[in-house]
Amino acid sequence: MARIVMKFGGTSMAGIERIRHVAGLVKREAERGNQVAVVVSAMAGETDRLVQLCREAASLYDPREYDVVVASGEQVTSGLLAITLQGMGLNARSYMGWQLPIRASGHAAALIDHIEAEVLERAFAAGGIAVIPGFQGVTELGDVATLGRGGSDTSAVALAVAMKADRCDIYTDVDGVYTTDPRIVPKARKLARITYEEMLELASVGAKVLQTRSVGLAMRYNMPLQVLSSFEDVPGTMIVADDAIEDRDMERNLITGIAYDKNEAMITLFGLPDESGTVAKIFGPLAEAGINVDVIVQSSPIEGQRSALTFTVPKASLDHCLDALARHKAEIGYDEIIHYTDVVKVSVVGVGMRSNPGVAAKMFQVLAERRINIFAISTSEIKVSVIIDMDYAELAVRVLHTAFGLDQEDAA
Amino acid sequence: MARIVMKFGGTSMAGIERIRHVAGLVKREAERGNQVAVVVSAMAGETDRLVQLCREAASLYDPREYDVVVASGEQVTSGLLAITLQGMGLNARSYMGWQLPIRASGHAAALIDHIEAEVLERAFAAGGIAVIPGFQGVTELGDVATLGRGGSDTSAVALAVAMKADRCDIYTDVDGVYTTDPRIVPKARKLARITYEEMLELASVGAKVLQTRSVGLAMRYNMPLQVLSSFEDVPGTMIVADDAIEDRDMERNLITGIAYDKNEAMITLFGLPDESGTVAKIFGPLAEAGINVDVIVQSSPIEGQRSALTFTVPKASLDHCLDALARHKAEIGYDEIIHYTDVVKVSVVGVGMRSNPGVAAKMFQVLAERRINIFAISTSEIKVSVIIDMDYAELAVRVLHTAFGLDQEDAA
C-alpha cells in the first residue's frame, strides 16, 4: 500500500467527460489499495475568465477579493470530481482549503505555511478519497488566499509533504519531461528520471511542465514527483534527488536536456561610466520595480573609459524596464540604450557537467560551426545558457541535441 | 441613519457593467449615511450551468458536493461587487457564508438556523459595507450548504432580521408588485403597499417576484420588505404587516391582485367507492412521493354509490402522480382516471375579503357572464382560486381585474 497525491491540471478537468476519465484513473489507484488525495485545477480557461472579470471590475483590484473570485474555479472542479467518484461507487469527498485547513500567507500569490493532515488521516483511515482544490488556502484571518498562477502544482507537493505521501503524481497534457521540445526535435527522448535541480533549470528556461515553485518544494522535502499524461496510459518521468539517480545510472549522459526560452528581451546600455557603483545604480531601480533580470554580461570598455552592459528581462517587463532606466538616466550616466526582442535563450542542462568542465566550450564550438552568433552567456553549476538571434532558435536546439548525444536512436 | 439590506438578483449581477450599476445604487445608500449590507445572487444563468454540471457528473449527485459546486456562483459575484465598490472609493468587503457565519441545516435545500451579526456590527462601526453571497450558509460540520433555488431572497431577509435592519430592499428586474401581470392587463397598477399574507398568496399562485419562503420569514419577524427595480429609478412596492396598511388606507380595495398559474395539471378519478378512508388512500401515496396537491374537489355521488374526485398537481409532478395512482389502483378502487394539462388556476387575492363574504360569488358571476366554465374551486381566508380552461386565462384575468376595480384609471 502506498500513499499518493494525484494532481490534475485544467485540460484534464475541462468538462464532465474529462473529469470522468480522471475519476477512472483515481479509481485505479484506489483499487490498488493505495491511499489517495487528489488535487485539481479549475477547468481550462476558467481562471483566465475569472481574472479578467476582476480586472474589468477595477484595474487595481483588491487581492483579497480577487482571491475570493478566482478560488471558485477549483471549488467547482473539486465538487464535480467528488460527485463523479461517488457515482462510481467510491467513498470520496471534497475539502476546501479553509476546511482542511491549508494555512497560507498573503493574497494573489500567497505562500503555504502549513497543512493540517489530521482530517485527511481520518478520511484515509475510513477508506476515503480526499479531493482538494489546488491553488487555494486560508489566511490567519480566515480569508481565502490563492497561490498565484500554476499554484496547484505547489498545492499538490505541499499536500504530499504534509501527508507524508510516497509520491506526488502530476498528471498533465504531456506524458513526461523530454530532452528538449519534441515539436522542434522529433528525435527528443522522454526521460525516465531527472533530478530536481535539472528540472528547475529546465523549467526556469522555458520547459513549462511544472511550476518552478513546486519543484523547489519537492526538492526541499525530497518528495518524489512523477510527471505523466492524463490522456495516455504510458510511463512518465520521475523527478527525484541526485543520489537517487547516480546510484543506478553509472553512464548517464553528461547533459540531460536542452531548453529554450523566447520570452526574453535583451537590453544593452552603452557608454557607462567605468566606476564602482554603476551596476548597482542600474539594477537597484529595476529590483524596486519588481523586474527579474536574468543573463547579465558586462563588456570591457570599448570606447575610451566607458563600457557597455547587456542583460535580459522577460518581454512582459520590457516597457517597465525601459521606463525605469529612462527615469534614472542622469543618475546612471549611460549614453545610449538599445533593446532587442528577437532573441532566444538556449540552455544545456545536466548535473553531469559538474564534473566535466568541457560542456560550455563544446556548446560554443557547436554553435560557431553553424555560424550562430552568441550575444551573451550565463552559467550555473548545472547549466550553460546563451542568448542568440531568434532566427536560429530551432537550429541551435537541434544541433546541440545531436552534439550532446541526446537523439533517440530508434526514432522513426 | 437607517440600517438596510439591499439584495440583487441574477439579472442585476449579469456582467461587470451591471455590477457597476449595482455598485452605484449601493454607493447612493451609503452616502445617505445608511449602514448597508448587500446580498447578491450569481450571474444570471450561472447557477443553472453549475446544476447542469452536477447532473452530468452523476444523476444521483451528493447534495453536500452539489452545494460546494453551486455556491461558487455567488462567491464570484460577491467578490466582484466588493472590488467594484472599492474601485469607487468605498470601504467594502465580502463575507462568505462560512465566514460570518450563516449557520444552516441540511444540503441543497438547507434552512437557515442562525446568523452571527457580530462581524457585521464591527464592519458597520468602522464605516464598512458588507457584501454577502446569497443562497449559502455553513452546516454544523463546517460544510457549505445552499438554500435551494431563489434562496438569496431568504438570505437577504434572514440577514436583515439578524442585523436588526430597518428595511430589506429586494432589487429585481421588475419595478414592484402589480395588481396582475402587466403583459396580460396593460391597465395593471403597481401597488405601493401590500401585506405579507397577500404577497404569499400572490407568490404561491404564480406571481414569482419573491421566493415564498422569504416572505414568510419577513412576516414572522415583521421585517419590512421593498421590491424595486435595479434598472429603473422609480418607487417600488412595500410589503408590510396588515396593521401597517390598514391604519393608513381606510378605503383600500377589497381585492389586492389577480394571479394566474399555468403550471398546474388537473386529475379526476371517477367511480370511487363511497366509503371513509378513500381520500386518505389517494393522497397518502402522493404525499409519500413528495407531490404537492393543491385544489381538491370531491363531487357528490353521480352514479349509484360511487363518486368522483378532482385535484391539481404541478405539471412537473404529473407523471410521478399518475404512476403512483396506477400502482395503488386496486387499493384505492377507482374505475377511471383522466388528466388535463390545458388548465389554468386564476386567483383573486386580498385581505379585504376577510370582512366581505361576497368576493367568491362576484368572481363566479363575472366568469359565468363570459361563459367561462369553472372546473374546481379552492378558497382561503384571503384568496379564491378557480381552475378553468387554459384558453380563457387572459380573458378571465382581464375581466376580473376590471370587475374588482383594479384597472389603472389614467392608463394611456
Q: Which of B320, B41, B98, B54 is nearest to A87 (CA)?
A: B54
Judged by average pLDDT, the poorest of A189-193, A244-248, B309-313 is A244-248
Residue of A88, A115, A73, A80 lying closest to A29 (CA atoms): A88
> Between residues A274 and B36, which one has the greater pLDDT?
B36
Q: Which helix (H) or strand (E) holds B83?
A: helix B72-87
Alpha-carbon distance of B315 to B311, in angstroms, equals 12
Query: Quick check: B142 contacting A, CB < 8 Å?
Result: yes
CA atoms within 13 A on the CB side of B281: 18
Map chain A to HEC letters. Answer: CCEEEEEECCHHHCCHHHHHHHHHHHHHHHHCCCEEEEEECCCCCHHHHHHHHHHHHCCCCCHHHHHHHHCHHHHHHHHHHHHHHHHCCCCEEECCCCCCCEEEECCCCCEEEEECCHHHHHHHHCCCEEEEECCEEECCCCCEEECCCCHHHHHHHHHHHHCCCCEEEEEECCCCCECCCCCCCCCCCECCEEEHHHHHHHHHCCCCCCCHHHHHHHHHHCCCEEEEECCCCCCCEEEECHHHHHCCCCCCCCCCEEEEECCEEEEEEEEEECCCCHHHHHHHHHHHCCCCCCCEEEEEEEECCEEEEEEEEEHHHHHHHHHHHHHCHHHHCCCEEEEECCEEEEEEECHHHHHCCCHHHHHHHHHHHCCCCCCEEEEECCEEEEEEEHHHHHHHHHHHHHHCCCCCCCCC
**Residue among B19, B57, B80 whose CB faces A87 most closely:** B57
Contact A82 B75 (CB under 8 A): no
Instruction: Sort out which chain A residues have CB atoms less than 8 A from B57's CB and list them.
Output: 16, 19-20, 80, 83-84, 87
Between the alpha carbon of residue A234 and those of residues A175, A230, A231, A309, the distances in Å are 7, 9, 9, 47
Give residue-wise pLDDT tens across range A277-292. Answer: 788 888 888 888 888 8
Residues in chain B closer than 8 A to A144 (CB atoms): 96
Residue A86 contacts B where some CB pair is shorter than 8 Å: yes
Interface of A with B in 204-243 (CB under 8 A): none
- B325, B376 Cβ separation under 8 angstroms: no
Return the pLDDT at B412: 45
**Is the Cα dihedral A229, A235, A241, A246 positive or negative?**
negative
Most confident of A248-262, A343-357, B300-314, B388-402: B388-402
* CATH number for the domain that contains residue A142: 3.40.1160.10
Question: Closest Cα to residue A254, out of A359, A177, A179, A409?
Answer: A359
Domain-located, residue B90: yes
B89 to chain A, closest Cα gap in Å: 11
For A68, the closest of B16, B56, B79 (CB atoms) is: B79
Q: Touching check for B101 and chain A: CB below 8 Å?
A: no
Helix (H, G, I), strand (E, B) or coil at B192: coil
Tell me what ipTM this predicted complex has.
Answer: 0.80
Can you give the pLDDT at residue A298?
Answer: 73
| Stronger pLDDT, A360 or A300, i.e. the higher one | A360
Closest CA–CA distance from residue A234 to any residue of chain B (Å): 26
**In contact, B257 and B359? CB cutoff 8 Å:** no
Give the residue numbers spanning the domain of A166: 3-173
Coil, strand, or helix at residue B11? coil
Interchain contact, A54 vs B83, CB within 8 Å? yes
More confident residue, B340 or A356: B340
Residue at B56: amino acid letter: E
CB atoms B57 and A98 under 8 Å: no
Residue B120 lies in a domain: yes
Strand order in the sheet with A336-340: A296-303, A306-314, A264-273, A336-340
pLDDT tens digits, one per residue of A375-389: 888 888 888 999 999
Check: CB of residue B138 under 8 Å from CB of residue B97.
yes
Determine, for residues A82 and B62 on separate chains, whether the beta-carbon distance falls below 8 Å.
yes
Looking at the domain assignment, is residue A53 inside a domain?
Answer: yes
Question: Would you tell me which residues 21-60 of chain A have a C-beta closer than 8 angstroms to some C-beta of chain B?
Answer: 50, 53-54, 56-60
Pick the closest to residue B321 from B267, B263, B259 (CA basis). B267
Say which DSSP state B188 is in: -
Q: Which of A21, A2, A349 is nearest to A163 (CA)?
A: A2
In a domain, B362, yes or no: no
C-alpha cell belonging to residue B149:
433555488
Residue in B84, B104, B105, B1 with CA at minimum distance from that of residue B40? B84
pLDDT of residue B244: 75
Give the gap in angstroms from C-alpha A56 to the nearest C-alpha of chain B. Answer: 7
pLDDT of residue B316: 87
Shortest distance between the Cα of B72 and any Cα of chain A, in A, equals 5
Q: What pLDDT score was predicted for residue A326?
A: 93
Question: Which pLDDT tens digits describe chain B residue by residue (412 residues)?
Answer: 899 999 999 999 999 999 999 999 999 999 999 999 999 999 999 999 999 999 999 988 999 999 999 999 999 999 999 999 999 999 999 999 999 999 999 999 999 999 999 999 999 999 999 999 999 999 999 999 999 888 999 999 999 999 999 999 999 988 899 999 888 999 999 999 999 999 988 876 656 788 888 999 999 999 999 999 998 999 999 999 988 766 555 556 789 999 999 989 999 998 888 777 788 888 888 888 888 888 887 766 555 567 888 899 989 889 989 999 999 999 999 999 999 999 999 999 998 888 777 888 899 999 999 999 988 888 888 889 999 999 999 999 999 999 999 998 764 4
pLDDT at B304: 59
CA A106 from chain centre, in angstroms, equals 21
Using the beta-carbon criterion (under 8 Å), do B72 and A69 form an inter-chain contact?
no
- Sequence-distant (6+) residues with CB within 8 A of B378 are B294, B295, B296, B297, B384, B385, B386
How confident is the model at residue A412, as a pLDDT? 45
Instruction: Report the Cα A384 to chain-centroid distance in Å.
Output: 18
Nearest to A83 among B19, B57, B83 (CB): B57
Contact between A74 and A42 under an 8 Å Cβ cutoff? The reply is: yes
Helix axes B63-70, B72-87, angle to 10 degrees: 20
* Nearest-CA distance B74 → chain A (Å): 9
Are the beta carbons of A87 and B19 separated by less than 8 Å? no
DSSP B203-248: HHTT-TTS-HHHHHHHHHTT--EEEEESSS-S--EEEE-HHHHHTT
CA dihedral A290→A292→A298→A304, nearest 10 degrees, is: -30
Nearest neighbour of A57 by CB, restricted to B19, B98, B142: B19
**DSSP symbol at B382:** T
Across the interface, whether the CB atoms of A82 and B65 are under 8 A apart is answered yes
**A54 contacts B79? CB cut-off 8 A:** yes
Of A253, A230, A250, the closest CA to residue A179 belongs to A253
From A143, which residue of chain B is nearest by alpha-carbon distance?
B99
**CA–CA separation, B308 and B266 (whole Å):** 13
Q: Does A63 touch chain B (CB under 8 A)?
A: no
* Beta carbons of B82 and A62 less than 8 Å apart: yes
- How many other β-carbons are positioned within 10 Å of the β-carbon of residue A290? 8
Chain B residues closer than 8 Å to A93 by CB? 62, 64-65
Q: Which residue of A has its CA nearest to B16?
A: A57
Q: If we measure between CA atoms, which residue out of A47, A41, A48 comes closest to residue A10?
A: A41
Closest among B137, B140, B153, B168 to B37, alpha carbons compared: B168
Give the SS3 label for residue B269.
strand
Longest Cα–Cα distance of chain B, Å, equals 79
Pairing of β B35-40 and β B129-133:
parallel
Q: How far apart are CA B264 and CA B257, in angstroms?
A: 20
Q: How far apart are CA B356 and CA B259, in angstroms?
A: 20
| Mean pLDDT of all residues belonging to chain A | 90
| B98/A17 Cα distance (integer angstroms) | 31
Residue A380 · residue A371 · CB < 8 Å: no
Cross-chain residue pair B83–A98, CB shorter than 8 Å:
no
Beta strands across the sheet bearing A257-261:
A257-261, A343-349, A383-389, A376-380
pLDDT of residue B168: 98
> Would you tell me which residues 333-362 of chain A have a C-beta closer than 8 angstroms to some C-beta of chain B?
none
How far apart CA A296 and CA A313 sit, in angstroms, is 10
CA–CA separation, A45 and A14 (whole Å): 8
* Interchain proximity B68–A57, CB inside 8 Å: no
**Distance between CA atoms of B97 and B115, rounded to whole angstroms?**
9
Residue B64: its chain A contacts at CB < 8 A? 93
Residue B116 to chain A, least CA–CA distance (Å): 16
Q: Cβ A142–B78 below 8 Å, yes or no?
A: no
Residue A59 has which C-alpha cell? 484595474
Q: Is there a domain that residue B8 lies in? A: yes
Sign of the CA dihedral running B324, B328, B332, B338: positive
Strand (E) or helix (H) holding B17: helix B16-31
Select the more confidently predicted residue: A77 or A207: A77
Residue B144 near chain A (CB below 8 Å): yes
* The predicted structure's pLDDT at residue B376: 87
What is the rounded CA–CA span in Å between residue A41 and residue B142? Answer: 23
- C-alpha neighbours within 13 Å on the C-beta side of residue A47: 26
Question: A66 or A294: whose pLDDT is higher?
Answer: A66
By the CB < 8 Å criterion, does A172 face chain B?
no
The number of folded domains in chain A is: 1
- Within a domain: residue B277? no
φ/ψ of A193, rounded to 5, equals -140, 150
- Give the amino acid at A309: L
Cα angle vertex A45, ends A41, A49, to 5°?
110
Instruction: Give domain status of residue B163, yes or no.
Output: yes
CA-nearest residue to A70 within chain B is B76
The answer as to whether A237 is a domain residue is no
Q: Whose CA is closest to A138, among A93, A107, A94, A164? A: A107
Min Cα–Cα distance to chain A from B267, Å? 36
Q: Best residue in A64, A72, A90 to probe B by mutation, most B CBs within 10 Å?
A: A72
Evaluate if residue A249 carries a pLDDT over 60: no
pLDDT at B206: 58
Rounded Cα–Cα distance for residues A20 and A15 (Å): 9
B96, A144: Cβ pair inside 8 Å? yes
More confident residue, A306 or B157: B157
